[in-house]
Amino acid sequence: MTDLINVDVLVVGAGPAGATTAVFLGKQGINTLMISRNRGPADTPRAHIVNQRAMEVLRDAGLEADCLEVAAPAENLANTFFLRGLAGEEMARQWAWGNNPARMGDVLTASPCSFVDLPQTKMEPVLLAEATRLGVNVRFDTKLVSLEQDEQGVTALLVDCVTDREYSVRAKYLVGADGANSRVARDVGLPMVGKGGLGSAYNILCEMDLSAYTAHRQGSLYLILQGGVAEWSGVVVFRMVRPWDKWLVSIYIPPNYDGPDATTEQLLARIRTAIADPAAADLPIKILSTSKWSINDIHAEHVSVGRVHCAGDAIHRHPPAAALGSNTCVQDGFNLAWKLALVVQGKAHPRLLDSYNAERQPVAKQIVQRANASMWQANGLADYLGACLFNVYSNEQVDAKLASPEGRQGYEQQLLDTRYNGEGHGVELTRSYRSGAVVEDGSAEPEVTQDPELYYQRSTRPGSALPHGWLITRKPGPLVSTLDLAGKGKFHIFTSHGGEAWREVARRVSERTGVEIGVTLVGIGLDYEDPYLDWKNIRGIEDDGCVLVRPDLIVGWRCAQLPDNPMQQLDQVMNSILGWA
C-alpha cells in the first residue's frame, strides 16, 4: 500500500508555467504540491527575453525588484545582428526589445515595466523561493507515473527518484506544466496539431570573453552568416547570457544533413570559426554544457480535460524566435491560478475553469504560428545575406546582389519582414479574450489601424488587458500605475466623479460572494489624480461608470455610466464571471 497525500492542487512541472501557477496559488493559501522530475531549477539559460506583459505578472507577484536585480537591462538587448563573423563585416542590424527610438513611446505608454534579459536559470529560483515562502510544497527528483481522474478529483502516482519509493497524491485539480514532452498532456489525451522535428540545433553554453567584439555591437542575438564551413553546420547564433562573458551558442543543422552528431571538439572549432578573428585562436572557451533540440510547430486544440489543466510548453511548442515561450508560460499560470483558487475555495463554480481553455488556447495557437513565422523570416534574411540555408551564395555574390537596385530593394523588404522577431509588441501585449469569465458590454471591436502583431492597441473593452496609466496622489509620492492598484489576487473597480456609489456596491457584493472587490476613484480631488490624463483618455466610460478588472489584470466588464440599480448590475456581473449564472 502506497502512502496517500491530499492536496488542493498538484502542479506537475516547476518551470516558468508551473512555478508561476504555484506562486499565485500560494498567495491565496491554496494547499499546493509542485513536483519536478529534474534535480533542481533550470541548469541552462533556455528562454531569456522577458517582455512587458510577463514582467507585469512578476510585478503583481511582488517579484519585479528581485528579477531586475539579476537581469540584464533593456539597453544590453538593443539590436539583433547579422554578421560575417563576430569580428567580421556587419550585413544588417535591427532594433529589438523596446530599443527602437521610433517605438519607445509605444513601449513607455504600454506598461510600467520594461523588457529585460532574465534567463531561466535566474527566473526560476526567484519564483521557487517565493512559492516555498508562501507554503507551497516543492519536490524535485519526483516523477509522475500515472494519473486517474473522477468527478471529485485526480489521483496521481508519483515516484521519488532518490529512494524509488512510490506514493499517491489525491488532488482536487492537477496542472500539467511538465514541458514539451508532457506526460500529463499525453495521459489525458490532449489533441495536438502541427508538426514536430522541423529542424534541429545544438546549444552550447559556454564562458568566453567576447567584450572586444560587442563594444560597438551590443545586443542579445548575433547571427553569423558563413556558408559552407561544415556540412553539419548552418547559421550560428551567439546569444548573450551575461554581458559579455557568458553565452549560449546555437548551431543550426542544415535540414538536408543526416550524418553523425558533431563532437565537442567540432562544436568548439565551429564557435572559433564563427568568431572569425585569427587573434582569437587561443581565446579561452569553457564549455559548460551541450545539448541538441528540435524545432516544433505544435499546439493543443484544447488545453483542459476534466480536472486537469495544462500550461506552458505542454500546450505550445515552437522555436525561440520572437521570445514568446516563457513569457506565455508565465501568463498561462497567471490566468489559471486565480480561477483555481476561487473554485477550490468554493467562491466560484467549477465552470469558471472552462474560461481557461477559451482564453489561453487561442493564445497558444497564435504564438506558435508567430514564432515559426518569425523564425522563417529571420532565416530568409540570413539566407539573403549569404548564410546558405536554402541557396548557396559566396560573399562576392551577395555583395554584387546588394550593389544592384533590385538587390537592395529585396534586402529592405527582408528587413521589414523580420521586424516581428524583436518588435512584435501587439502579439506580446494585446489580449481579446472571449469566455464565460468576460461580460460583454455590447461595444464594437476597436478599429484596427496598424499591424496588430507589431502594434499594441490599448482598450478597456471587456476581455482586454487593463491599460497602464500613471496616477499620483496630491501629497508627495511616487507615480502609481493603474496595474499597481488592481490585481494582487482581487477584483478591482475604477471609477471617477459621481461614481462614489460603486464603493458601497462593491463592499456589499464582496460580502455576498466572499470575493474581494477593491475600488479606486480617479480624478481631481479623488483617491488618485490623473496628471497626464492617461486613464481618462483610455478608460472608455463616463465619470460615473466603472471598469471592473479581474485578478489577472484583464477587464472583466465595464459600465458606461452609473445604472439605476448598480447593486443589481454588479451582482449579476460577478455571478456571471464566477460561473454561478
Residue-wise pLDDT tens digits, 359-369: 999 999 999 99
User: Does the structure show a pLDDT above 70 at 2?
Assistant: no
Residue 328: what pLDDT? 98
The amino acid at residue 176 is G
Closest CA to 196 of 269, 296, 124, 285: 296
- pLDDT-derived band at 444, boundaries 50, 70, 90: confident
Q: In 150-277, where do the E strands start and end?
A: 154-160, 165-176, 192-195, 200-207, 219-224, 236-242, 246-253
User: Does the structure show a pLDDT above 80 at 353?
Assistant: yes
User: Does the structure show a pLDDT above 60 at 387?
Assistant: yes
Q: Is 211 left (phi over 0), alpha (psi -120 to 50) or beta?
A: alpha
User: Does the structure show a pLDDT above 90 at 447?
Assistant: no
User: Does the structure show a pLDDT above 90 at 212?
Assistant: yes
Q: Hey, what domains does the chain have and what are their CATH numbers?
A: 3-73+115-192+300-352 (3.50.50.60), 430-577 (3.40.30.120)
User: Does the structure show a pLDDT above 60 at 38?
Assistant: yes
Question: 77-121: per-residue pLDDT in tens?
Answer: 999 999 999 999 999 999 999 999 999 999 999 999 999 999 999
Closest CA to 219 of 309, 103, 100: 100
Strand partners, 35: 12, 139
Strand partners, 205: 248, 289
364 within 8 A of 329, measured Cβ to Cβ: no
Closest CA to 498 of 581, 562, 452, 404: 562
- pLDDT-derived band at 209, boundaries 50, 70, 90: very high
Q: Compute the mean pLDDT over every residue in the chain, rounded to the nearest whole number.
A: 96
- pLDDT-derived band at 1, boundaries 50, 70, 90: very low
Whole-angstrom CA distances from 33 to 64, 80, 128, 175, 270 are 24, 40, 12, 10, 44
What is the rounded distance in angstroms from the CA atom of residue 363 to the CA atom of residue 331? 10
User: Does the structure show a pLDDT above 60 at 227?
Assistant: yes
What is the rounded distance in angstroms from the CA atom of residue 546 to the CA atom of residue 521? 9
User: Does the structure show a pLDDT above 90 at 228?
Assistant: no
pTM of the shown model: 0.97
Whole-angstrom CA distances from 525 to 149, 475, 506, 522 are 55, 11, 21, 8
User: Does the structure show a pLDDT above 90 at 256?
Assistant: no
Question: 156-187: per-residue pLDDT in tens?
Answer: 999 999 999 999 999 999 999 999 999 999 99
Residue matched to cell numbers 561544415: 230
234 within 8 A of 242, measured Cβ to Cβ: no
Question: What cell numbers appear for 474 in the block?
Answer: 496630491
Question: 517-530: per-residue pLDDT in tens?
Answer: 999 999 999 999 99
- The percent of residues above 70 in pLDDT, for the chain, comes to 100
Residue 181: what pLDDT? 94
User: Does the structure show a pLDDT above 50 at 430?
Assistant: yes
pLDDT (average), residues 494-512: 98
